[in-house]
Structure 1
Amino acid sequence: MKRKLVVDVDTGVDDAQAIMLALATPTVDILAITCTHGNTSLDNSCKNTLRVLKVCKRLDIPVYRGSSEPLLGRVFHACDFHGKDGLGDAPDPNAPGLDLLQKEGAIQALIRIVDQNPGQVSLVATGPLTNLALAVKLDPRLPEKLNSLYIMGGNTESRGNTTVCGEFNFVADPEAAYIVLNRFSCPTYIAGWEFSCRNKLPWSFCDAWLAQDTDKARFMKRIFSHTMKMAQTERYQKEVVEGSGFASCDSYAIAAAIDDSFVTESEKVAVTVELEGTNTRGMMVLDYMELLKKKHTVTILKKVDLDRFKDMLMSSLK
């Protein structure tokens, strides 16, 4: 039986890589893609998702429009890193239009799809968690009907990449991250910032990955050029953990949802999100002392099978 995924994205370059990885996996059935604000505006996120599906010849997958802003606070975008449009400012005049979006909203679609497939859907969230927070507010029983939840976001050692102590996806909507980590009781797996950095691939792999003679590889090379340059700047090198390399952050969460053997080391711990700290708002908090008295723990990813990851990424552009 194929694994059923719903993917919630803020499609920038890293989300595009993750979506393409999932689409290239024959054991996976993507039931829907829901879009949110984050790396770029909601409209761009939707357009970018459709562009990815077009190059992969999978415009049959329904795409839904979700939240355009966080629950509270100001809007964050990652335009300096992913380009103003989220895909490296490499426009395509023949890109699909927003008329291809489903009329149903993302939050309603998420609730409906999980209801229709109880216990079967793995939800993968690679952007701010606004859609998920609103969904659980509308349907408090949603988490118990999910098979599992995979999140790219948060941090485990208070290393920030957006604020002093905050990872981008959680900082972009701290209240949503707080709600999700405190309301979702299904098996939950988190691919955090430091984990992604420590499981980087060498840039030499990236060169070989992009050198494949396919339309997908040429598309990825165009949209990834800006981000590759940014990832090798002095500013970015101060943010990352343990040196340079290729970290497709969102792809780790997708790969974990696809293949149980991908994760080789993890730990279980209760977590929450700081909402009030001057320097720590949006930071994920790990409760090793069990002071929060929470029954639900999440699985924090620590190490992965990098050879398996290379194979999955290579296959995604074939």
Structure 2
Amino acid sequence: MVREHWHFTAPPFDGALEPATFYAGAPQIEALARLEWLLEQRQRFGLVVGAEGYGKSHLAAMAVRRLGGLGAEAVMLSLRGLAPGDWIALLLERLPLDPISRAEPLRLWQKLENRLRENTLMERPTALVFDDLDAAPQDAIDGILRLIGAAEPRYARTVVVAMVTPQGLPQLPDGIRQRAAVRIELAAWGTGDVQEFLAQALCRVGGVKDIFSADAVATLARFAGGVPRVVGQLARLALAAAAGDGLSQIDAGTVERAWRELAPSADSSAQPSGVDIAQNVRDTLDEATASNPRVRVVRRLWG
């Protein structure tokens, strides 16, 4: 019903981490520029710090594409939920080893070092992008510490980028935190970035860029606190609510109603922090779906 009402070719805010859905707001542009500097200046390690919902995983995927476009052999690995001993095997799976190298009866770490040395000899950088570093098993932490701290020539063209939350940063060893050549703090989007993100997402699926009125954009940016994930969730619900009401444009009242459905306990007169918003949405969305029939109806419109 929603897609038919707005004449979309696909859902505009489905949360997919695809290149086409990435929006480079001011914080993302700055982060990617600093990661490029990291590679160009042959620095070994950079940290990207951002709260839940600030788009670290999407940024990590785009960093792989950007650094790969600069000539690096770039791969990404999420460390969340891995069992001890799994990280290096999964990392090797992502590296383009030839069949002979994969079949060699060597320890996994030696295979990784051989690939890094091969790239160094070919004057080709290796960019290893790790998401969820603060959720990594201890052996992965130890391995990454070796990658960024070892002085052997084989590591000379290796750059490591890691994503971490502010809450997880103090839990990392001093050796990791102190070796970061750059530490990039992801900030929330401003109203201008929210407006551009909405317009880009809507136009990508054949919609009209001003479906959200100026007041609706400002209200959405305020309620979401500029948190990218929450912006997308709230926009998605607002589209569904407006379609259910037969509206041709989304106004501020519709956004506020969608916000109350997304986070029923929120106070619309206050502006909580981005961290509070993301936590509130994560804690209440499933509960609200189970207890609030109106939310179930809105969600079914996308089916």
Structure whose CA Rg is larger: 2
User: How would you bin the TM-score normalised by the shorter chain?
Assistant: 0.3 to 0.5
Larger helix share, 1 or 2: 2
Structure 2 length normalisation: TM-score?
Answer: 0.34
Higher relative contact order by CA 8 Å / sep ≥ 6: 1 or 2?
2
